[in-house]
Amino acid sequence: MIQINNLSFSFAAAEIFSDLNFSVSRGEILSIIGPNGCGKSTLLRLLRGSLKIQTGEVLWEKTPVEKIPPREMARRVAVVPQSTTIPFPYKVRELVAMGRYPHRKNLLSFQDKSDLYAIEQALVMTDILPLAERPVTQLSGGELQRVLLARALAQNSSVLFLDEATSHLDIDHRLELTELLVRLNREQQTTIVQISHDLDLAAAISQRILLLTEHGKIAEIGIPKKVMTAANLQRIFRVDVKVNSNPFTGTPQIVPLINCSAHQLNGLKIHLICGGGSGKTLLRRLHLTQAETTAGPLNQGDSDEAVATTLNIPVAQEVPFNPFSESTLLKAKKLIDQTGVLVITTQWWGEGNLPCLDLAEKAIRQGIAVYLLAQQREQDFTEGKAWGKIQQLQQQGAKTIRNEEHLFEELAQQLIV
């Protein structure tokens, strides 16, 4: 029904997607999951044509999305946004009625019987009929979210896009609306594409799951049991989970393995080689543990550099968008020489940051403990040179760590030693 071919998209200099290829079948529920910032909402906008495609194509029944007029697209697909602000005090019924606009001959035409029936049915199905005459500006976030879903249902479209539509709802309405989606899919063959952070519910109702990496690439797509594995979820979300089988539905059930122990690393001297946001969380967490932290080399303006500077963490800085110079690498080496632990969180390797791995090799020779956090071969863009150096570091004693929780356990051991 919807075919995505070689789709790429960027905002300014930031690439969101690169060569996405997948399809949405008629009458299926497809859930899109992935970490924050991976482009899930942007993808929905591209699929319905509200963002202009830069490279590749999105086809609706073999018709390019850009050739489908907006009014026709509104008849085909209804959208429930992630969140929105309604500044004007429309009554709930009036806002739901806006879902009927695509079916009217013009905006000034009166509602007919089919419009009135669709509006009333949407109010009932989302349990907001008692709110029908209330201004939307007086609603809670959860109530407003149900109104937005009702507006989408009133469109009577064959396709429904939902962007975290249940995120503001309490548990009873979340389950009710999830059951409603399943009924729409089974009884009316409504095609549903939803973005969800509720992994259990996504697994329970979806025919397929699309799992995106933090850089907008397809990590996996397929049935929930194929996609929702502990290895996949750990790799993408960097948390340890246990995946059980739901005893009632047989679908995957995700149980986070949470370490509730508090970490205190007072006095432990740690240096981070990071960049591109790979070290933001760890820099904040190390700051809270009162570890003596340094970082770099980092380009000025890098998100990791901004976090480190705000937290008064010493950084070996390079000018923006430049490879690391010899003088900057020397500054970084001097910071590393004063520490007992070096942690590498960098996720993407190019010629510009390749010398950082040489700094790690020198650190090992000096007896400094080196940890490699979640390194992957496919993130090497140096024709194998970076991955070769990483393997050499491992042979020399560098430890590969799966996630930050395991890293903190290792760092705690450093204090004991």
Residue 417 has a pLDDT of 57
Q: Is 397 exposed, middle or buried (0-12, 13-18, 19+ CB in 10 A)?
A: exposed
| CA 376 to the chain's CA centroid | 19
pLDDT, position 379: 83
Q: Which pLDDT value is given to residue 416?
A: 64
The pLDDT of residue 259 is: 57
CA 294/CA 304 separation, integer angstroms: 12
Q: In the chain, what are the domains? A: 2-255 (3.40.50.300), 269-416 (3.40.50.850)
What pLDDT does residue 385 have? 94
At residue 110, the pLDDT reads 62
Please report the pLDDT score of residue 164 as a whole number: 85
Instruction: Give the closest residue to 296 by CA, choosing from 340, 330, 341.
Output: 330
Beta bridge partners of 159: 77, 191
d(CA 322, CA 332): 16
pTM: 0.73
According to the model, what pLDDT value does residue 236 have? Answer: 87
* Surface-to-core class of residue 69, CB atoms within 10 Å of its CB (0-12 exposed, 13-18 middle, 19+ buried): exposed
Alpha-carbon gap, residue 320 to 276, rounded angstroms: 12
Write down the pLDDT at residue 131: 92
Q: Tens of pLDDT along the chain (417 residues)?
A: 999 999 989 887 677 888 899 999 999 999 999 988 888 999 999 999 999 998 999 999 999 999 999 889 988 999 988 766 787 899 999 999 999 888 776 655 567 788 898 999 989 888 889 999 999 999 887 788 888 889 999 998 999 999 988 777 778 778 877 888 888 899 889 999 999 988 988 999 999 999 999 888 999 999 999 999 988 998 888 777 889 888 878 889 888 776 555 667 888 999 999 998 889 889 998 988 889 999 999 999 888 999 999 999 999 999 988 899 999 999 999 999 999 999 999 988 999 999 999 999 999 999 999 999 988 888 888 999 999 999 999 999 999 998 888 888 888 887 665
Q: Decide the pairing of beta strands 269-273 and 292-299.
A: parallel
